[in-house]
Amino acid sequence: MEIRAIKVQRLYLQVAEQLRALIDSGCFAVGERLPSERDLAQRFEVSRPTIREAMIALEIAGLVEVRSGSGVYVKARGGPTSLAETADPGPFEILEARKLIEGET
């Protein structure tokens, strides 16, 4: 019997993958505003920082656009099929995306 390593996926990536599936299935159309952080956190039963990280991953993957003061909107589809493959951003990318989402103070 072959033993395989267990791959642990970060919580924000799990949320991002579910959101990506909802976008792919048409639950959120291109140009549509996603629910607020608070609503998503309640629906997924996770913290708001986890939702923020998921939004950063989706933005880096090119699936959503963050509009400061307005919300997060679905962009036209294109690119890789799995966030786990493409959205393991480094510290610089996370900080840059946070600036876009949270605004600079």
Listed by start position, the domains of the chain span 11-102
pLDDT at 57: 92
Distance CA 6, CA 46 (A): 23
Total-model pTM: 0.67
Question: Counting beta carbons within 10 angstroms of the beta carbon of residue 91, is it exposed (0 to 12), middle (13 to 18) or buried (19 or more)?
Answer: exposed
**Residues ≥6 apart with Cβ < 8 Å to 54:** 12, 13, 15, 16, 19
Over residues 76-96, the pLDDT tens digits come to: 765 555 555 555 667 777 777
Q: Which residue has the tokens 């699936």?
A: 63
Fold of 11-102: Arc Repressor Mutant, subunit A (1.10.10)
Residue 72 has pLDDT above 70, yes or no: yes
pLDDT at 10: 86
Distance CA 55, CA 101 (A): 9
pLDDT at 68: 85
Per-residue pLDDT averaged across 56-70, rounded? Answer: 90
In which band, very low, low, confident or very high, does the pLDDT at 104 lie, cut at 50, 70 and 90? low
